[in-house]
A and B are shown apart, each in its own frame.
Chain A
Amino acid sequence: MSPTPSKKSADAAAAAATATQARSSATGLGGGGGGAGMRLIVPLQGVVQGRGGLVLGTLIPCALFYFLQFYLRRNRSPPPTSPQPPAANGPDLPGIVRSSSRNFLSARGSSGHAAVSSRAASIARSGDSPYFVGTKKCSEDPYHPVDNPDGVIQLGLAENRLSLDLIGDWLARNVTDTLLDERQGGLSISGLATYQPFDGLVELKMAVAEFMGQVMQGSVSFDPSQIIMTAGATPAIEILSFCLADAGNAFLVPSPYYPGYDRNIRWRAGIELIPVPCRSTDNFGLSIPALERAYNQAKMRGVKVRAVLFSNPSNPVGNLLHRETLRDLLDFVTEKGIHVIADEVFAGSTHGTEDFVSMAEVLNTDEFDRSRVHIVYGLSKDLSVPGFRIGLIYSFNEHVIAAASKLARFSSVSVPTQHLLISMLNDTKFITQYIKTNRERLRVMYALLVNGLKQLGVESVKSSGGFYCWTDMSKFMKSYSEKGELELWKEMLNVAKIHLTPGTACHCIEPGWFRLCFTTLTEKDVPVVLERIKRVVDNH
């Protein structure tokens, strides 16, 4: 595997080399096969995040860096075709690799010829990132209370197992009727034979719209005709990105943010993500002045910001945005003439005392230009069915709806799964009970973990939603730095045998924050987790 360039030269050559702007200066690939068809992509945009524009001084180190790597590459043998790193939950979190260290793109194929695209090459290298290392350890040595009590405990996966039994019971009660009922279309082949709209069956859109209204506690209703169903929220975000911005443009994203955005939005759509730091002193709340600063800095660099993307409830922090903040945000994007994307996938997974306010609700009651507002939602989190791939775009913009409905063809929801969900969602009595019970179980688990951590001297941000707590472990770091944080993370993984998500993966600018997911635990596991953490805490 290629060595990651040193941070210094990486910063100097830091790139958000986007798809359209990348050009290869390749030796010819045609003729006489088997040539070392090597392609090097010159970083064209010097982006040192938040620190200013395209500094001329980066060009020279950039060029030197380029030539050094070119030289090194030519004299090294091709990488072996090694076994692929396992990804038990590949789609969830990508590598912790910071954008600046992913700048070096080389598209040499493993056999030295018929190279792949630069887009492909950039991601092929992220296989040995810390995240994958952690996940690999979890799958190789998974904790089990009876069979493997010393195994690695996975706290890095935002997956909800707390209420699966409820859904399992529903299926047991309804499976034969629902699934095999010819009249309902169920799984009977003829019902699935005909050409289906790629953006989802009307019945599913209606059922989901109803569900969303329920989940957001009846404060707003959703219109099925504004829904585009997609195979999960991951493609929903990507499709929206393709619709709202061109490659090379940027989104402002309050940080810390969900690590998956980096891959989902940068990779193929070629859109830059500009983190807008939120601070612990503000309880990691969204700051309009910070957005304003980031917007202006981007402008100075000649980067066009097209949207603000934020999650609410926040991942990884878990806080909810207040109505006033949402209004201020709408004012901001209106003033700048840009879009806003509200990722509300955890809307139904609130466990605190605060009420969740959807962007849709604010639009309902206030006079704002709706055509700039887009919501991402799905059933992976709130209904615990990530495997079924049910996500959606909810937009107030008819042109986005038109384009997205065509793009949904690349990421459609499987029809038998749609039928299953239609039945389940239409059982409103079950759904109401499920939402309520699930929230209660989240609340109990959250409290258990957070209180236990508190007793160890680990404080968490007060949060009201999501599957995790956002904890401050900075006092246990050897140095107050990114390096210190990663060392602590490694210690947690190797000594405490717990896999957590470090703040650097989420672009948090304050080192020492970690996200711990509690939804894959049972109540009995919590003391075990706390004891493990204590091992590391005691060492400091």
Chain B
Amino acid sequence: MAKKGVPLSEMATSDTHGEDSPYFVGWKVYDENPYDAASNPSGVIQMGLAENQVSFDLLEDYLEQHPQEFGWGCGVSSFRENALFQDYHGLKTFTRAVALFMEQIRGGRTQFDPQHIVLTAGATAANELLTFILADPGDGLLIPTPYYPGFDRDLRWRTGVNIIPVHCNSSNGFQITLRALEDACAGAESMKVRVKGLLLTNPSNPLGTTITRPVLEEILDFVAHKDIHLISDEIYSGSVFSSDEFVSMTEIVESRGHQERERVHIVYSLSKDLGLPGYRVGTIYSYNNEVVTTARRMSSFTLVSSQTQKMLASLLSDKEFTENYLRTNRERLKKRYEFVVEGLSNAGIRCLQGNAGLFCWMNLGELLEEPTVEGELSLWNLMLHEAKLNISPGSSCHCLEAGWFRVCFANMSQQTLEVALMRMKDFTEKMKAKQMISSL
């Protein structure tokens, strides 16, 4: 960016915000020409946004039945204290409700102490905060690939911390292996970068899979051996299709009698599971008192609105509601997923076997002109401009194998999804025909 007039900081003028990558470019194209069934049926369908809209009706019903809760519960007089409340410990009723909700998601298998919950304005802020706390500029954070493209910006931009990719591949369903972890560490060492932690996303974005217990155990052993921290970003934990298939890192910690817990930190948010990204409610859960204290103080830069806390406290504490919500949401996501996989299969497209999340990880390798990043991006571009579908290319997620794409399915209506799958089918048929012709 050209520097005009009074100079700005390096940070302001760098492009670490990463918004020039295809992941974000696609969004812009969508914004300029968004699909609408009635008014713009040939517009771009957004399949690059991992948002959950499948269970809104449940929230709307709750609001209708409990209008008081959304209007300051016990009345307007409590507004005064609420409006002044900027204590970074958070509203007691709210932190308790969040703890309860997180316990419910894990089927009551682990306990969360509300005093160890630190609230932040979204998981984006939570991840950045933990990075500031656990690492200094120039240090490294190990992250298994493929990973959420936003991490490049969220974890590096202001913190000055490096991301060390831990490369996973399709040979074992992209599972994290000890070998991959060791290789990544060795690489960091050779670059003289000190590794301070490992950040996992479980369930994984973009894979849409949960990490198995044995792998989680191995990972905890690894971080203990290396004496580094472990951040487990579990923001999709409530979106696992079968509740018994999710194992939280907290369960591993508890099963070991809380050994190694000082290095484990969980990130959660209401944006995905509850479909409330606009509310900006994220949380850090840490067993480490020093991290909790520091995170709390640092959360001054990213507090959750007291009004929002009050509003959601009763909703999240309502066990009947949350149980029903979680169960119904899981079922609906599972149905969507199966519908998408079938639709893609009809189009001759294979997907990674997924069991969680708001997206699936599909392989279009066969359609690439060349098995490279360029080939992948050129296919992505075609899909965006010809099929008018915005999907996320694996290279944005740092996947080393070309041809993988993440496709979101929960941020649109069933009808729109059907249209999207039809476009996908048409597109792949056209591409295959082209390939056949050019090979003659």
**A interface residues, Cβ below 8 angstroms from B:** 19-20, 22, 24, 29-35, 37, 81, 84, 86-92, 109-111, 113-114, 116-120, 123-124, 127, 159, 161, 164-165, 167-168, 171-172, 175-176, 179-180, 187-190, 192-196, 231-232, 234-235, 238, 242-247, 249, 263-264, 267-268, 306, 337-339, 369, 371-372, 380, 384-389, 397, 399-400, 403, 406-407, 409-417, 420
Contact = CB atoms under 8 A, between A and B. Distances in A.
A30 B88 contact: no
A109 B227 CA distance: 11
Given A117-B136, A123-B298, A195-B51, A414 B279 contact: yes
A420 B82 CA distance: 14
B305 A91 contact: no
A91 B296 CA distance: 10
Contacts of B67: 176, 180
A119 B302 CA distance: 17
B60, B227, B278 pick with most chain A CB within 10 angstroms: B278
Contacts of A243: 8-9, 11-12
Contacts of A89: 86-87
Interface of B: 1, 3-6, 8-13, 17, 19, 49, 51, 53, 56, 59-60, 63, 67, 70-72, 76-77, 79-80, 82-89, 121-122, 124-125, 128, 132-137, 139, 153-154, 157-158, 160, 194-196, 224-229, 262-263, 275-281, 288-294, 296-298, 300-308, 311
Given A114-B263, A416-B279, 19 more contacts: A30-B227, A35-B227, A114-B227, A116-B294, A117-B135, A117-B139, A193-B56, A193-B275, A231-B280, A242-B9, A249-B9, A268-B158, A338-B6, A371-B4, A384-B84, A389-B86, A414-B280, A414-B307, A416-B307
Contacts of A35: 227
Contacts of B82: 387
Contacts of A161: 80, 84
Given A371-B6, A388-B305, A179 B12 contact: no
Nearest to B157: A407
A244 B9 CA distance: 5
Contacts of B281: 414
Contact of B196 (A117, A165, A387): A117
A154 to B, nearest CB: 12
Nearest to B55: A189
A389 B305 contact: yes
A135 B77 CA distance: 25
Contacts of B263: 113-114
A470 B276 CA distance: 44
A90 B294 CA distance: 12
A179 B70 contact: yes
Contacts of B301: 231, 234-235, 238, 264, 268, 410-411
A305 to B, nearest CB: 12
Nearest to A415: B278
A246 B11 contact: yes
Contact of A37 (B53, B86, B227, B292): B227
A175 B75 CA distance: 10
